[in-house]
Amino acid sequence: MVSREDEIRLLIFTSVFVAMVVWEVLARRRETSAFRVQRWSTNFVMLVLGIASMRVVLPMTLIQLAGWIGNREWGAIAVLDLPFMVGVAVSVIALDFCLYGQHLLMHRVSWLWRLHQVHHADPEFDVTTGLRFHPFEIAVSTLYKALAVVVLGPPALAVLIFEIALNSSSMFTHANGRLPQRLDRLVRWLFVTPDMHRIHHSVEVGELNTNFGFNLAVWDRLFGTYRQEAALKCAHIEIGLRLQPGRASSLGPALRMPFDKRTISSS
């Protein structure tokens, strides 16, 4: 049975995805050529498998978990006893910081990198890259976020806002769309932009290990992981990992990648 929460999230997801595709068509940032039909098929199947893995490891949604925690007045937010909307705002920011920390761990812990490399192996950078995560990574991420919800005790509304923002920003920051340079420079003082995040998808390790933010760009600036520009101009940044593009674009090899001895190091 489809819940009201699922309806809202599906509507917003579809609207943002369509908007990003239109943006990529009307204002493409760089040309793409790598196995588009195969890539998109693989990335969408990854999305479906990821949703299934979420349901397996956590029988309730994070919003429902937040409601359950809230009814018991557990967590740091409950202890602070903030006004409701202040608690919502603080919770959204705190959850975004938790995801920044998770992303760092995904790059610095070898077994987590084995999972996360599937996302980075996409040989191109477009809206569907933001959907491409190995189902085992989604399972780990779901448990990590559930732990964050238990520790923080955020209002259910905050978790709903955070989850919608996370999904939407994942599509936006991976979109192959062009922002005017001045606007990009202004926006990235607070939010991650596609040009900022594209650097993170470079094959160059020194660029790969920068710009970890998902939604808010302030964490990279605060913790010294921000990079303003890549060594090469946008059109010439080599995206992905140094693998055969066909291998990275095919579903079977992508799913097997965490268990492949040919893992590409993130350091």
What global pTM score does this model have?
Answer: 0.93
Q: Is the pLDDT of residue 82 over 60?
A: yes
Q: Is the pLDDT of residue 176 over 50?
A: yes
Instruction: Give the pLDDT confidence of 220-255 residue by residue, as tens digits.
Output: 999 999 999 999 888 789 999 987 656 678 899 999
First to last CA, the chain: 45
pLDDT at position 262, please?
64
Q: Classify residue 209 by its DSSP letter.
A: T
Query: Sign of torsion, CA 179 184 176 244?
Result: positive
